[in-house]
Amino acid sequence: MASPKGLPTTRFGLLGMTWRPKVTPDEQAFPAMKAAIANGATIWSSSSIYGMPPEKPTAGLSLLRRYFEKYPEDASKVTLFIRACFDTQAVCPVRVVEVEFSLWSTEILTNGVAATCKDLGVPILTYAPLGYGFLTGQIRKLEDIPQGDVRHMFGRFQPQTFHKNLALVGKVNEFAQRRGITPAQLALAWIRAHSNTSNCGIIIPIPGATAAVRVEENCKEVQLSVEEKQQLDEILESFQIIGERQIVGRNSDLSG
């Protein structure tokens, strides 16, 4: 998949490390971060609000500080992408756009976002490329999501929608098994297959992971043939995803 010189095809999302009821301990988080560097995912996405009570909102930034204090030699190997509030002039011109895009959130293909970014030459970073873990096949029932996890507030993780949406996961799992890859790798490959196409410019997924083995899995780049992508597209067209993308009743607040 084509990409600008020096721009990795996979980035590393850190939200899951600290934005959960149980914060990932450093002894687990640090090896995952090391694995990201080792596998070329050297642009890291965090935020000034990646923390849940009782942790501070800046828990994500504190994690980064602790990591680089322990491994200062890695500071020059990583580029940080921090979402926070700045003056308008500090973020213009737009260099990158971050929006949700995955097998179950394809809105950017039809609402003009992907086409506009292509016209302007602005790369797209896709958050939640694995559907907040749903598309990995690891979540088979609502009880698999820890109590207090924010996903319990999301429209697609409600009792009346969850099991209906599992039908898509089943199809993805079957496809991945035939291909000899994991469902997560298939979901990421489908996103990358849109990069530099007729209606999309550069598109780079930002999968998050809290374990080194998952980082390595996500960073293993899988190529889909034109026929395989078309088959996946046909599967998506045959399903209707049910439920709002994030917190129920707050869709109008989403900017991407």
Provide the domain limits for residue 189: 130-202+210-249
- Size of the chain in residues: 256
- The helix-helix angle for 212-219 and 26-38 (nearest 10°) equals 20
Closest-CA residue to 103 (of 2, 217, 237, 247):
237
pLDDT band at 4 (very low <50, low <70, confident <90, very high): very low
Query: Averaged over 2-8, what is the pLDDT?
Result: 48
Query: Averaged over 231-242, what is the pLDDT?
Result: 91
pLDDT over 70, % of the chain: 88
Position 104 in a domain: no
**Has residue 45 got a pLDDT over 60?**
yes
**Has residue 115 got a pLDDT over 50?**
yes
Position 138 in a domain: yes
Q: Are 11 and 81 in contact (CB under 8 A)?
A: yes
246 versus 25: the higher-pLDDT residue is 25
**Residue 211 burial (10 A CB sphere; 0-12, 13-18, 19+):** middle
**Has residue 204 got a pLDDT over 50?**
yes
pLDDT attached to residue 2:
37
**Domain count of the fold of the chain:** 1
Q: Which residue has the tokens 């996979």?
A: 10
Helix (H, G, I), strand (E, B) or coil at 2: coil
Position 22 in a domain: no
**Has residue 213 got a pLDDT over 90?**
yes
Position 156 in a domain: yes
255 versus 126: the higher-pLDDT residue is 126
**Has residue 107 got a pLDDT over 50?**
yes
Q: Which residues contact 107 (CB under 8 A, 6 or more apart)?
A: 100, 101, 113
Position 239 in a domain: yes
Position 228 in a domain: yes
Cβ count near 227 (within 10 Å): 8
Position 192 in a domain: yes
Position 191 in a domain: yes
**Residue 63 burial (10 A CB sphere; 0-12, 13-18, 19+):** buried
